[in-house]
Structure 1
Amino acid sequence: MQHGKLLLIDDDRLQAQIVRQQLNSFRSSVFEFEWASTYEEGLERLLSEEHTACLLDFQLGPRDGLALIREAREKECAVPIIFLTADSSPDIDIEAMNAGALDYLVKGEISPAMLERSLRYALKLSETLAELKRLATRDALTGLLNRREFNRLLAEESERSHRFGRPFSLVLLDIDRFKSINDRYGHPAGDSVLRETAERLQGLMRKVDRLARFGGEEIVALLVELDQEQAHDVAERMLEAIRSTPYAVEGQAAGISVTTSAGVAAMPGKISTAKELLSAADDALYRAKRGGRDRVESA
């Protein structure tokens, strides 16, 4: 049996009573019910991400549900939304789907069985879309963002920095002598080291930061609202998290010691483009390698 929490955003009290009654008639699902009667209250509750699904009315006083869907999606809300309207026009159907709704129901035609089916369909489709997004944006080995998604986020952050003059930094890390780990302990051990390195670094990141596998044994961190000096301090903590505890490797009772080197660069300043920022971080990383490894260098 399917369980969840359903949010209805609708300014009609009668519609709220109807939906509550229909939920009680479900045959194979149990949903806790919550009702928001205004655009502002509905958006706030929707963005809390506490709900399994949302039913959203087209007309919300002077504003409409299409705008609410777009605003929620812009804020990366992943709650599946089913659009409700008294208008059976196919144009509204298309608009709702384009805005991000996963299904569309016409008021007055909704039965408990139809609503239950729609919720089941929307939840399944939402899971499928989330998995497709994960596969498209995540590195399969480490679970970190992949390089393509990182480049997209870097371009966005670079644009924001130009527009508002806000700082951000990159920390580009490389596992020292990674080839020797693969040669000595085998590629499964190397994969294990990469996965655990990702886990250790993720533990240091704030919610606003982004961590990606940049390629091979390189990992890059995008640190929002941090200047170069602050990012250098973060990089030092990242290196300490790697060196502080030996890595468990099958067949090695004592574990193996791993170190990393890092290059740091920031915007805005002398660096004005995302390409220049990456190049500066890479140059700093190269200096860290030449300087003896297990160290941080800044652009």
Structure 2
Amino acid sequence: MKTENTTHVLLVEDNSTDAYIIESILSDVPDVNYNVQHVQALSDAQDACKVKQPDIILLDLSLSDAHGLATIEELKNAASDSPIVVLTGNKDAETINSAIQAGAQDLLQKGEYNAKFLGKTIHYAIERKQSELELKHLAHFDPLTGIANRLLFIDNMTRAIAHAKRHEEILALMFIDLDDFKNINDTLGHDVGDELLIQVADRLNNVVREYDTVARLGGDEFSIILEDIDSVYNVDATTKKILKELEAPFKLCGQDMFIGASIGIALYPDAGIDTNTLLKNADIAMYQAKNNGKNNYHIFTELNDSESLARIKMESDLQKALSQDEFELYYQPLFDLKTGEIHGAEALLRWNYPERDELVPPIEFIPTLEKTGLIVPIGEWVLRTACLQCKHWHRQGMQDFHVAVNISPRQLQQSESEDWILQILHETGLDGKYLNLEITEDILLDNPEQANINIKRIREMGVAVSVDDFGTGYSSLSYLMNFELDILKIDRSFLSTLATNASTPVILKAIIQMAHGLGLQVVAEGVELSSQYDYLESQGCDMLQGYLFSPPLHPDSLLKFIEDNYSGKAGAVG
């Protein structure tokens, strides 16, 4: 009588007669139900394994799309937990040994087995594979907590470093030591200490991402490998989550118990480029965290590596800057050459860094904002603040005054990026026709189709779209024909060589003429000399921006500046 247990057999055999014989023999095996799935090619076998991992694979090596013994490795990759029994007509001892060495659990000579023998072979192959998997698990996983052990940690760390090096990414290694664990072990016993370690491992696994490695290195020492991180900002956020998770009480001996943890962090490549160095430096940082008061963390930095230290500190300080109101906007006027009035202003971000006696210009911190992703929330703050300010100027009598705001590639690449722009316009009450969003050429190049969709949706709000810093990237006016744009801003680098490079006036003239031919207004930025003004006016440039007219101004100063200098100019102030 057959049992209710069913063994799923994947039979990979291109000879229909041989396959029929094997299926018939399996149907006669006593006490076992075999569910046989027959395929005739390696590719079909790989597809079948994707749908369902078989309990065992019976494999003929002479398939039309197979490569001899290499077929075993290919099937192992498709079904790593499934045992493989090779079916062959070859009695050569070398072939048999090679098949076993390649990863097969057994090898059977075709036509030389009956139901009882085939059934035993399958049973033992499954048992051997299960033993192999259990030994592999014991070799790589901590028997107490079930997480990775030191051996698997080192393997994963080696692979993670190679990946980070290849993709030029940051990698973080955390070394975690439980505070006062020895006291718990000594006072409550090792069984309670073991239960605490199990609960700690579970909590660490719950905090990190699925593909991050959590390992127990020994005793109460844990380690975490964080891969695919953009910056120290991400590490900082994850570490704070871990500390918060471990601060919650642990249920031990029927009561709540509290522990802390000290965490040392070493970043690849700043703190080392190999596992041993990173582990050593993470350990040093962990002891520094303990010295700082326990239940704390510390990021390792070489004291003489001032650049690395400054970069990490800036990332940390930028994270707090928005919540502490350290950012502000200055506005540089746009001079309209046709009317002689101040047409609008560009909003420029400045950082009131407490550790500096002057405003920090964006060139020093925008790359860090982009890298960390902070550009998204700060970019939204910039747009909202600029729109509110523009609306305020309207109420003060600056009729038809508009504001230009830079938008980063990361902001525009957000799904439905136009939604938050529209929401800010509604919140502030600013009509879209008074807003000009400035984008760079690389936004158009990275994903032209999506960029065009986003630009069209933005323009449907009445918002103008400018290409900023034209001349520093792809710089093809014909390429711009593919996009619905309003304004082209010529990069300041052209004006700096206007008097020294004979080609510059020719190029500027061509850019202005061709841009007008495409229906675009032209703005020249970086105008500092009267000679530059005269040339741009002669070529029909529409608007100018630069220190010849005004530096970026605090919003309270802009209205007075216009009243003092342009009060008679065609209603600049209504």
Normalized against structure 2, the TM-score is what? 0.48
Q: What corresponds to 2:293 in structure 1?
A: 292
Aligned pairs for 1:156-175 within 5 A: 156-175=159-178
- CA contact 2:61–2:71 (8 Å) conserved in 1: no
1:237 maps to which residue?
241
Single out whichever of 192-201 and 7-16 deviates more from structure 2: 7-16
Match of 2:481 in 1: none
C-alpha separation between the residues in 2 aligned to 1:76 and 1:292?
A: 50
Q: What one-letter code is carried by the residue in structure 2 that aligns with 1:242?
A: L
Once residues 172 and 49 of structure 1 are traced to their aligned partners in structure 2, the CA distance between those partners, rounded to angstroms, is 39
**Matched-pair contact (CA < 8 Å) for 1:47–1:77:** no
Assess, with a 3 A threshold, how the Cα gap between structure 1 residues 24 and 224 changes in structure 2: closer, same or farther.
Answer: farther
How do residues 8-47 of structure 1 correspond to structure 2 at under 5 angstroms? 8-46=11-49
CA distance in 2, matches of 1:152, 1:21: 45
Secondary structure of 1:60 counterpart: coil
Aligned to 1:142: 145
Question: Once structures 1 and 2 are overlaid, which stretch shifts more, 125-134 or 171-180?
Answer: 125-134
The RMSD of aligned alpha carbons is 2.5
> Contact conserved, 1:232 with 1:296, CA < 8 A, in 2?
no
| Structure 1 segments of 4+ aligned residues over 6 angstroms from their partners | none
Number of the residue aligned with 1:79: 82
Identity %: 28
**Most deviating of 93-102 and 67-76:** 67-76
- The corresponding residue for 1:66 is 69
Sort the Cα spacing of 1:184 and 1:129 in 2 relative to 1 into closer, same or farther, 3 A.
same
Question: In the TM superposition, what whole-angstrom CA distance separates every residue of 1:210-254 from its partner, at most 9, and x where no partner exists?
Answer: 22211210111223333553344333323332223x22212xx43
Helix, strand or coil for the counterpart of 1:116?
A: helix
CA shift at 1:179, angstroms?
1.3
Corresponding residue of 2:262: 261
Deviation of the 1:192 alpha carbon: 1.0
Q: Secondary structure at the match of 1:63?
A: coil
Give the letter for the 2:244 counterpart. E
Counterpart Cα distance in 1 of 2:298 and 2:231: 11
> How many residues matched?
296
Describe the SS at the equivalent of 2:118: helix
SS in 2 for 1:82: strand
Change beyond 3 A, Cα 1:47–1:99 = farther
Tell me how far apart the structure 2 counterparts of residues 200 and 148 of structure 1 sit (CA, whole Å).
22
Larger Rg: 2
- Unaligned 5+ residue runs, structure 1? none
Q: Which position in structure 2 is the counterpart of 1:282?
A: 283
Q: Is the 8 A contact 1:232 1:264 kept in 2?
A: no
Q: Secondary structure at the residue paired with 1:35?
A: strand
CA distance in 1, matches of 2:69, 2:94: 12
Stretch moving more, 268-277 or 40-49: 40-49
Aligned residue number for residue 504 of structure 2 = none
Structure 1 position 92 matched with structure 2 position 95: yes
Residue identity in the other structure for 1:185: L
Kept in 1, the 8 Å contact 2:41–2:65? The answer is: no
Q: What is the match of residue 211 of structure 2?
A: 208
Q: Compared with structure 1, are the counterparts of its residues 156 and 3 closer, same or farther at alpha carbon in structure 2 (3 Å cutoff)?
A: same
Check if 1:110 corresponds to 2:110: no
Instruction: Specify the code of the residue in structure 1 equivalent to 2:225.
Output: L
In 2 relative to 1, CA 50–106 (structure 1 residues): closer, same or farther, beyond 3 Å?
Answer: same
Query: 194-203 or 227-236, which moves further after superposition?
Result: 227-236
**Aligned counterparts of 2:74 and 2:52: Cα–Cα separation in 1:** 14
Partner of 1:195: 198
1:183–1:118 Cα change, 3 Å: same
Please state how far the C-alpha of 1:68 moved relative to its aligned partner.
2.8
Instruction: Please state whether the residue corresponding to 2:113 is helix, strand or coil.
Output: coil
The secondary structure found in structure 1 opposite 2:145 is: coil
| Larger RCO of the pair (alpha carbons < 8 Å, separation 6+) | 1
C-alpha separation in 2, matches of 1:119 and 1:98 = 18
Report the 3-state secondary structure (helix = DSSP H, G, I; strand = E; otherwise coil) of the residue aligned with 1:225: strand
Distance 1:228 1:282, change over 3 A: farther
Shift, 1:103, TM fit: 0.4
Shift in Å, 1:193:
0.4
Equivalent position amino acid for 1:239 in 2 = L
Quote how far apart the aligned CAs of 1:129 are.
1.7
1:82 Cα offset (Å): 0.7
Say if 1:270 and 1:189 are closer, same or farther in 2 by CA, change over 3 A.
closer
Could you tell me whether the CA contact under 8 Å between 2:264 and 2:283 is conserved in 1?
Answer: yes
Is the Cα contact below 8 Å between 2:208 and 2:238 reproduced in 1? no
